[in-house]
Structure 1
């Protein structure tokens, strides 16, 4: 388990729209762009093997950032490379395990082909602790809402696994896997605690259901 003293002041960042990583959750990634292959090669040589997942920030008019790429949201989540395999054509299949969220202080200039940021870990100490509980979670009502959402989108899932999942695994897995817009994913990331993430998740699901109902009426 990481301690605050183990966390570096600078991390390599992977700005991937719609990709959400949360503490203690796992995110599989397929790495094939040359700059990110270089990033992974460098990261694997470090003790922490940390990569910061950050959402690109789309500014009004679709512009933002500089020559290095789009501007970044201020909050991301660092993950440790816990699984990786290399294909014959030098691509990587990796898994990141979420360690802690961070705030981007500034981008660090250098000779790396990928982006790096100076970060602050303040305010996220509980990310390094044990799994959170959500004592206010009404499982029956939540699963009923989820069933309506999956039916509306014609999705299938392993309901027994969902019913048996711990609070954090259930809420975080759904937050990461469901097809929400990047800005909605950012809202789920920035939720201070598990209960507030669950409330945000419910709001997003209910909004999607209302939108689907409106589209049916219009047709």
Structure 2
């Protein structure tokens, strides 16, 4: 009988989905997340083994949990340029997420390991993290300076025929890339360098495909690799068929998306 691993981690909600193995750059400006990064600097070392800003070395990685915000929810209006600048912004670790914050988030997320955390002169942070393992949120605590969550690790099971499905997904992904980029454009990623390990393939394709957050979330929380690959095969074929019938557009117009700080 397998033992379920649980932990309490800082919680970082985003309007996007993080997958294991994928790099996550962050621009931190909200105070609650600044406090999170200051604490992470005190408790861990970066990938090069350098000390945190407080000069204290730690043996634990700088880990936090990333979860996608459900449709219809938004982060607290603390950034300039958002509508209704005369309204009083909510404050506190759960600002923008309601009285029961866990209801604002998808329950399955991903642990992020911060390789680098750099504090700027204005107190904001530049962070580079990498997704590691999937987790399920069990509870959310809003009593501290930022949200924390009790989480359990979700093991990645291969499922049946994952290897064969991965080969089919890679072929479909190459066809999708060619359609998306256009016949005279370079492919969106070097096809010669694509991996062949099924779970890695499934996460890479999930991250690289131009899909909305609900679709990406469904892929993240798939019960096993084979199920995720089957869904991706269906999505890639459907998206490729749609693109084939669209007017000719530069690939950059189809893939451009605004950068979201925090």
Structure 1-normalised TM-score? 0.73
Report how far residue 202 of structure 1 moved.
Answer: 3.0
Matched, 1:182 2:213: yes
Once residues 87 and 178 of structure 1 are traced to their aligned partners in structure 2, the CA distance between those partners, rounded to angstroms, is 33
Query: Could you report, residue by residue, the CA deviation over 1:25-57 in whole angstroms, capped at 9, with x for unpaired residues?
Result: 322222222211111111233323111110112
Among 35, 40, 43, the alignment partner of 2:40 is 43
Q: 1:58 to 1:169 in 2, by over 3 A?
A: same
Instruction: Flag structure 2 segments of 5+ consecutive residues without an equivalent.
Output: 44-59, 74-95, 248-262
Aligned residues: 197
Aligned counterparts, 1:114-129, within 5 A:
114-121=146-153, 124-126=154-156
Q: Return the alpha-carbon distance in structure 2 between the equivalents of residues 58 and 189 of structure 1.
A: 16
Structure with greater Cα Rg = 2
How many Å separate the matches in 2 of 1:33 and 1:155? 38
Asked if 1:202 is matched to 2:200, the reply is no
Q: Which residue number corresponds to residue 149 of structure 1? A: 180
CA distance in 1 between partners of 2:22 and 2:239 (Å) = 24
Q: How far apart are residue 11 of structure 1 and its match?
A: 1.3
Tell me whether 1:163 sits opposite 2:195 in the alignment.
no
Greater share of helix: 1
- Structure 1 residue runs of 5 or longer lacking an equivalent are 128-132
1:97 and 2:97 matched: no
Q: Which of the residues 24, 28, 38 maps onto 2:25? A: 28
Pairing of 1:127-142 with structure 2 (within 5 A): 134-136=162-164, 137-138=167-168, 139-142=170-173
What is the RMSD of the two structures over their aligned residues, measured on CA atoms? 3.2
What is aligned with 2:66?
A: 53
1:149 & 1:193 partners in 2: Cα distance?
A: 28
Q: CA deviation at 1:165?
A: 2.3
| C-alpha distance after superposition, 1:38-80 (max 9, x if no partner) | 11111233323111110112369xxx95247561111111111
